Amino acid sequence: MARTILAALAAAAILSGCTEASSGNTGRIGNPAVYDRIERLTDCNALYQEANTALDNVERYPAGDDRRDIPFAYATAALDRMRAIGCSD
């Protein structure tokens, strides 16, 4: 599960030219409440759903569109949280 998301994030990064969001809410793009919600989650399935929803939103825009950056950052945050709490495939 996490590997699938990681592969999708890597592909999205290559296609959009995005880089991973910085750690902590300071300096992150998007809504701090979304990051707070992700960081409070302890259920791997809920985190997986957060990442998938964010990746679906990335795909709504063409490669190179700046509107991809925020949902990509949310997906990255969800994957980071999955790693932090030990979610596995």
Average pLDDT, the chain: 82
Does residue 44 carry a pLDDT above 70?
Answer: yes
| Angle of helix 44-58 versus helix 32-40 axis, rounded to 10 | 150
In angstroms, the CA 6 to CA 65 distance is: 21
Q: State the pLDDT at residue 27.
A: 79
- pLDDT by residue (tens digit) across 53-87? 999 999 999 999 999 999 999 999 999 999 999 99
Tell which residue, 83, 88, 86, has the closest CA to residue 20. Answer: 83
- pLDDT by residue (tens digit) across 8-32? 555 555 444 444 444 455 678 999 9
